[in-house]
């Protein structure tokens, strides 16, 4: 079914592109670059490469989609590509690159230098001129090179947004190490006016394409997967892997200071933040077959609006839906941009690693209702997941924001029936839970080629089965859909406790951070309100605070402050994965956090007094600028 739909979509008749200026006759067609081929020639330890920057016609929606005129790199004598030709060398290689500027304007070239901490050079190349770059690559990492305006710290999202290419420097192999089977993903961005603003039309691309025209990566259960993910854009991304944890192996941050950051190295997570200019190298291994996604958790960056034939002003065609389409297939119609699909095949050697406890024990049954209530946010509806308690289903218009917390036990199977009482189809994602692909919650995609999970149609229900293998803090939420159901309430905590343990209401607190409704800029909600009740704590008691972040499009900056300023907490777990044993990780709670993360902390107040959790939006550019109203949860700490 999936194959057929995919084929139908990609073989659609050419889109109507009259709303876009036709590329000039001088523009060459840009091909997508999957970064599997090294550019240039290596001889006697020296890489020689000739690049040219030129106008290009870029079709991020595939060959049948519209073309944008952008600037891009080519290897002299070869096709222009987006991203540009990949420079990939081993540490110690001498690199000789010449760059010819075939554009009509001057550009400033950056990144073609050794990446030891220092100053990033900016080399002016006039229209028609060429410059040579020679360096020895000593600093391993997944860097990139780019060209643009004189004052750009990283690629902008305008005409220069695709004028980038990967510069991967491989560290020497250790003895006996297998050759790396890895992939390089370059994230780029385009907006009509080049702005960093995250509202309005934009197009985010992974290796030069927007979902569903991105590559499909094929793996086998047990493979060692290694990815270099490079954010060559002016926006923060929160890359979320469905179904599996991945380990952060290395990272770098590519602004003037060339600050090397070791923060978080070695940690396991399901969502990784990539600030503008940042790269991450991550490793993981699939232990379950099926279709999985790796995507940005910022809804705008994974939304189906990101196709050139759905741009405002586009002529609506039957194929393009004109942006007004209600999806019948979430995966193919609702999503676009920074999404890549993974096809994991079963292993012939180890036929099953299925956890033995699933079949042998009776499942706990749970009924969840996706409900809506009119005029909850002004004229707009509110939404909520409500778990049935007792024998009677919840009232049709009862909602809870956040939805009813699910408290599950590690190793205990559950059978959850999701009842969709909304007027639109939905799918529900069990974020951070290592479950079977079919239940993962991407309607039209989850599962495998002979059994694809449907969306849950209006009035219909869907049964989800899984056995949580890990205790921790997770969430369940609607998977994108039209975009406003999430910010209007369709999310809830999912907490897994150890066998024999209970959720201790005396010493545990859950704080869910999300948007305060469907309108941009309204105050952030903590536990479903912009005016939270006072949390009362007792001195000398250690509390486990489980924070969950599920805003739609914003990075939130959270502070826990006490009478004497910021308060220090002990970090226990990230994304539901316990930190490795070792000395306690103490940190002041002053944290930027994007959507799709959870964080567990221990807090032991020692002094009575007035404390508070503050949360405010932070601009999605890595710049540290907060914006909009602050939401405060007062905390009163009293003596026992
Ligand atoms: Cu993103």
Cα 304 to ligand 1 centre (Å) = 13
pLDDT tens digits, one per residue of 134-157: 999 999 999 999 999 888 778 888
Q: Which residue has the higher pLDDT, 367 or 360?
A: 367
Strands of 427-503 (E only): list them. Answer: 428-431, 447-448, 451-452, 461-466, 472-478, 491-497
Cα 298 to ligand 1 centre (Å) = 5
Cα 618 to ligand 1 centre (Å) = 14
Cα 571 to ligand 1 centre (Å) = 26
Cα 529 to ligand 1 centre (Å) = 26
Distance separating alpha carbons of residues 229 and 210, to the nearest angstrom: 16
Cα 338 to ligand 1 centre (Å) = 7
The neighbour count for residue 448, using CB atoms within 10 Å, is: 18
Cα 1 to ligand 1 centre (Å) = 29
Cα 232 to ligand 1 centre (Å) = 12
| pLDDT surpasses 50 at 128 | yes
Lowest-pLDDT range of 21-30, 529-538, 631-640 = 21-30
Cα 290 to ligand 1 centre (Å) = 24
What pLDDT shows up at residue 311? 86
Cα 306 to ligand 1 centre (Å) = 12
Confidence of residue 4 (pLDDT cuts 50, 70, 90): very low
| pLDDT surpasses 50 at 7 | no
Cα 157 to ligand 1 centre (Å) = 13
- Select from 480, 422, 430, 472 the least CA-distant residue to 574: 472
The pLDDT of 93-99, averaged and rounded, is 98
Pairing of strands 406-409, 451-452: unpaired
Name 263's Cβ contacts closer than 8 Å, sequence gap at least 6: 251
Cα 616 to ligand 1 centre (Å) = 19
Cα 236 to ligand 1 centre (Å) = 6
- For the chain, counts of helices (H) and of strands (E): 3, 46
Per the omega criterion (within 30 degrees of 0), is the bond before 138 cis? Answer: no
What pLDDT shows up at residue 324? 41
3-class secondary structure for 365-396? EEEEEEEEEEEEECCEEEEEEEECCCCCCCCC
Confidence of residue 359 (pLDDT cuts 50, 70, 90): low
| pLDDT surpasses 50 at 257 | no
The pLDDT of 231-242, averaged and rounded, is 95
The Cα-based distances of 247 to 268, 501, 572 in angstroms read 5, 28, 17
pLDDT tens digits, one per residue of 200-215: 889 999 999 999 999 9
Cα 400 to ligand 1 centre (Å) = 28
Burial of 602 (0-12, 13-18, 19+ CB in 10 A): middle
Cα 274 to ligand 1 centre (Å) = 8
Cα 201 to ligand 1 centre (Å) = 14
Name 109's Cβ contacts closer than 8 Å, sequence gap at least 6: 99, 122, 123, 124, 125, 131, 133, 145, 146, 147
Distance separating alpha carbons of residues 105 and 126, to the nearest angstrom: 7
Percentage above 90 pLDDT, the chain: 74
Cα 239 to ligand 1 centre (Å) = 7
pLDDT tens digits, one per residue of 32-65: 999 999 999 999 999 999 999 999 999 999 999 9
Cα 248 to ligand 1 centre (Å) = 18
Cα 419 to ligand 1 centre (Å) = 30
Lowest-pLDDT range of 88-92, 105-109, 138-142, 249-253 = 249-253
Cα 286 to ligand 1 centre (Å) = 23
Cα 205 to ligand 1 centre (Å) = 10
Cα 301 to ligand 1 centre (Å) = 5
Q: Which residue has the higher pLDDT, 318 or 153?
A: 153
Cα 493 to ligand 1 centre (Å) = 23
DSSP notation for 411-435: T--EEEEEEE-SSS-B-EEEET---
Confidence of residue 262 (pLDDT cuts 50, 70, 90): low
pLDDT tens digits, one per residue of 546-579: 999 999 999 999 999 999 888 999 999 999 999 9
pLDDT tens digits, one per residue of 98-107: 999 999 999 9
Confidence of residue 622 (pLDDT cuts 50, 70, 90): confident
**Eight-state DSSP code of residue 443:** T
Cα 238 to ligand 1 centre (Å) = 6
Cα 50 to ligand 1 centre (Å) = 32
Cα 225 to ligand 1 centre (Å) = 22
Cα 148 to ligand 1 centre (Å) = 21
Cα 229 to ligand 1 centre (Å) = 12
Cα 295 to ligand 1 centre (Å) = 8
Cα 257 to ligand 1 centre (Å) = 24
What pLDDT shows up at residue 576? 97
Cα 11 to ligand 1 centre (Å) = 27
Burial of 176 (0-12, 13-18, 19+ CB in 10 A): exposed
What pLDDT shows up at residue 179? 62
Cα 507 to ligand 1 centre (Å) = 35
């Amino acid at each position: 079914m999936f194959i057929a739909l995919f084929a139908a979509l990609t073989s659609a008749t050419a889109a109507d592109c009259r709303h876009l200026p036709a590329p000039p006759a001088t523009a060459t067609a840009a091909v997508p670059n999957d970064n599997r081929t090294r550019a240039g020639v290596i001889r006697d330890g020296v890489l020689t490469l000739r690049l040219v920057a030129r106008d290009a016609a870029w079709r991020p929606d595939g060959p049948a989609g519209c073309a944008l005129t952008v600037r891009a790199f080519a290897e002299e004598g070869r096709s222009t590509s987006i991203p540009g030709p990949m420079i990939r060398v081993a540490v110690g290689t001498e690199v000789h690159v010449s760059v010819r500027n075939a554009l009509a304007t001057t550009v400033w070239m950056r990144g073609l230098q050794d990446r030891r901490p220092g100053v990033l050079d900016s080399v002016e190349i006039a229209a028609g001129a060429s410059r040579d770059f020679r360096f020895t690559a000593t600093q391993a990492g997944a860097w990139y090179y780019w060209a643009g305006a004189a004052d750009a710290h990283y690629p902008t999202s305008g005409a220069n947004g695709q004028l980038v290419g990967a510069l991967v420097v491989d560290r020497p192999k250790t003895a006996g190490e297998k050759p790396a089977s890895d992939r390089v993903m370059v994230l780029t961005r385009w907006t009509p006016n080049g702005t960093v603003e995250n509202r309005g039309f934009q197009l985010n691309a992974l290796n030069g394409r927007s979902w569903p025209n991105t590559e499909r990566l094929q793996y086998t259960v047990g493979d060692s997967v290694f990815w270099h993910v490079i954010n060559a854009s002016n926006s923060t991304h929160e890359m979320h892997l469905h179904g599996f944890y991945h380990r952060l192996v290395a990272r770098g941050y590519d602004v003037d200071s060339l600050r090397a950051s070791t923060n978080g190295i070695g940690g396991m997570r399901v969502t990784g933040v990539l600030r503008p200019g940042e790269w991450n190298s991550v490793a993981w291994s699939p232990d379950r077959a099926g279709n999985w996604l790796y995507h940005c958790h910022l809804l705008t960056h994974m939304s189906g609006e990101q196709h050139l034939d759905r741009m405002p002003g586009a002529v609506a065609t039957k194929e393009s839906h004109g942006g007004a389409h209600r999806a019948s297939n979430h995966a193919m119609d609702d999503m676009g941009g920074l999404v890549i699909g993974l096809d994991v095949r079963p292993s012939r050697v180890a036929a099953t690693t299925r956890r033995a406890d699933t079949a042998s024990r009776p499942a706990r049954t749970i009924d969840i209702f996706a409900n809506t209530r009119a005029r909850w946010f002004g004229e707009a509806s509110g939404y909520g997941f409500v778990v049935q308690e007792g024998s009677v289903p919840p009232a049709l218009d009862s909602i809870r924001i956040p939805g009813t917390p699910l408290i599950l036990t590690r190793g205990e199977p559950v059978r959850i029936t999701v009842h969709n009482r909304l007027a639109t189809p939905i799918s529900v994602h069990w974020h951070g839970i290592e479950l079977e692909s079919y239940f993962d919650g991407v309607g039209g995609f989850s599962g495998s080629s002979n059994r694809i999970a449907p969306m849950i149609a209006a009035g219909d229900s869907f049964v989800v089965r899984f056995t949580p293998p890990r205790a921790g803090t997770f969430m369940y939420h609607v998977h994108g859909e039209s975009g406003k159901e999430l910010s209007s309430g369709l999310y809830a905590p999912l907490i897994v406790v150890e066998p024999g343990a209970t959720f201790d209401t005396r010493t545990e607190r859950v704080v869910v951070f999300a948007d305060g409704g469907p309108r941009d800029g309204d105050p952030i909600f903590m536990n479903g309100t912009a005016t939270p009740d006072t949390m009362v704590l007792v001195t000398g008691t250690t509390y486990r605070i489980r924070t969950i972040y599920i805003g739609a499009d914003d990075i939130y900056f959270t502070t826990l402050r006490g009478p004497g300023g910021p308060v220090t907490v002990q970090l226990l777990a990230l994304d539901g994965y316990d930190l490795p044993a070792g000395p306690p990780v103490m940190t002041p709670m002053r944290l930027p956090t994007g959507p799709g993360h959870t964080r567990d902390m221990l807090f032991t107040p020692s002094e009575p007094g007035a404390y508070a959790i503050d949360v405010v939006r932070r601009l999605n550019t890595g710049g540290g600028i907060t914006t909009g109203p602050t939401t405060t949860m007062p905390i009163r700490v009293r003596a026992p």
